[in-house]
Amino acid sequence: MTIRFEIMAHDGAARVGRLQTAHGAIETPAFMPVGTAATVKAMSPEAVAATGARIVLGNTYHLMLRPGAERVASLGGLHKFMNWPHAILTDSGGFQVMSLAALRTISEEGVAFRSHLDGSKHLLTPERSVDIQRLLGSDITMAFDECTPFPSPREAVEASMELSMRWAERSRRAFVERSGHGIVGIVQGGVHPDLRARSAARLVEIGFDGYAIGGLAIGEGQATTFAMVEATVPGLPEDRPRYLMGVGKPDDLVGAVKRGIDMFDCVLPTRSGRTGQAFTRDGALNLKNARHADDPGPLDALCRCSACTGFSRAYLHHLVKSGEILASMLLTTHNLTYYADLTAAMRAAIRAGRFAEFTTATMAEAA
């Protein structure tokens, strides 16, 4: 047995599922907080779990450089190292090494690059990426791929996608089957529907435990993102989880779930929490704005988080303007709680057959 995925309810293309891993079950649709360096910034593991999250994302590239995958393995694996008892998905490192630009060289073998920390030389191949994720103890391993820059000429996108598919096959062969652990393939193809469909078909032929849609949310715009999801999802198996990588804003999540997506990750709620932005049922708020300075009300009257139940907008404005660490902690707690509650509300709406109504209401709030 690897990971198991069971669909519990449908409403149109939207679905509720349960993903079973070695470290517990995840109800989908689900949002995964990003824990780049074995920590969700400004949050303790207990605080992350209290938001409702049951899976976080770790970063292969950063963890291989510091503290090192072998060191994490010798200390009991990533779950023990970061005191997170629930599931962990690790990215492959492909996106990060591609962003190094002048510091890396791509070949059929993999990516040779210099560390952004100390300039040391490294070679990340599909086999090494998968092995690093095994050493970390990831519940869900991601296949190694190239994230094609946007915009790029079609011929460059096609060549990049084909390389990613060859790397996907090598990643799949390198994966060590074990109970409760799985590997996910990543669809590439830029903004070209036919390339997306071809990539999806190749990954299904190889055979993965789940399928991700990568290479989006990098400047192409929401309408194009949704169009690529619509071009891809029909070619993916119904009985495997679907993960839209790097997305996104609340209305991005709702629109993607409407189109059959199950899982998401994004730095937006945590990064926003550190820069004074809060997501609420009435839209996004900038706590730096002077209009909050005398407001005794909560960020969101319907929110259950500690920032909303214990503090006023005026106090949070004061913390943000003063540069206090507590501002980042409280606003990140709020944003991750909001995202967890949003996905829970989507699950409830799908079960009740009300997802179209929910989508209309949520999009109106976002506007």
pLDDT tens for each residue of 292-337: 999 999 999 999 999 999 999 999 999 999 999 999 999 999 999 9
Q: Which of 282, 204, 217 is nearest to 256 (CA)?
A: 217
The pLDDT of residue 95 is 79
- Residue identified by tokens 């960020």 is 299
| The 3-state secondary structure of 81-108, one letter per residue | HCCCCCEEEECCCHHHHHCCHHHEEECC
Strand, helix or coil for residue 15: strand
Q: How confident is the model at residue 174 (pLDDT cuts 50, 70, 90)?
A: very high
For residue range 258-286, what is the model confidence (pLDDT) as tens digits? 999 999 999 999 999 999 999 999 999 99
Q: How confident is the model at residue 290 (pLDDT cuts 50, 70, 90)?
A: very high
Flag whether pLDDT at 134 surpasses 60: yes
Task: Give the chain's length.
Answer: 367
CA gap 108, 86 in Å, rounded? 35
> Topology of 16-265 in CATH?
TIM Barrel (3.20.20)
Catalytic residue list: 91, 265
For residue range 20-32, what is the model confidence (pLDDT) as tens digits? 999 999 999 999 9
Question: Nearest 5 degrees, angle CA 183-CA 184-CA 185?
Answer: 125
The pLDDT of residue 2 is 86
For residue range 33-48, what is the model confidence (pLDDT) as tens digits? 999 999 999 999 999 9
Residue type at position 132: I
The pLDDT of residue 135 is 98
35 CB-near residues (< 8 Å, 6+ apart): 48, 56, 57, 58, 59, 82, 84, 88
The pLDDT of residue 172 is 98
For residue range 71-108, what is the model confidence (pLDDT) as tens digits? 999 999 999 999 999 999 999 987 787 777 667 889 99
Q: How confident is the model at residue 173 (pLDDT cuts 50, 70, 90)?
A: very high
Q: Which of 257, 225, 226 is nearest to 242 (CA)?
A: 257
For residue range 104-128, what is the model confidence (pLDDT) as tens digits? 889 999 999 888 899 999 999 999 9
| Phi, psi of 21, rounded to the nearest 5 degrees | -125, 180
Instruction: Give me the chain's average pLDDT, please.
Output: 96
Q: Which of 74, 76, 72 is nearest to 64 (CA)?
A: 72
pTM recorded for the entire structure: 0.97
271 CB-near residues (< 8 Å, 6+ apart): none
How many Cβ atoms are within 10 Å of 218's Cβ, its own excluded? 15
3-state helix, strand, coil in the chain (%, to 5): 45, 20, 35
Determine the average pLDDT of the residues in 338-358.
98
CA gap 329, 348 in Å, rounded? 28
CA gap 364, 317 in Å, rounded? 26
Whether 212 contacts 237, CB under 8 Å: no
The pLDDT of residue 361 is 86
Could you tell me the strand order of the sheet in which 121-124 lies? 104-106, 111-114, 121-124
Flag whether pLDDT at 343 surpasses 60: yes
What is the percent of the chain with per-residue pLDDT over 70, rounded to a whole number? 98
Provide the residue ranges of all domains of the chain, joining segments of one domain with +: 16-265, 273-334
Strand, helix or coil for residue 3: coil
Q: How confident is the model at residue 367 (pLDDT cuts 50, 70, 90)?
A: low
For residue range 224-259, what is the model confidence (pLDDT) as tens digits? 999 999 999 999 999 999 999 999 999 999 999 999
CA gap 186, 361 in Å, rounded? 32
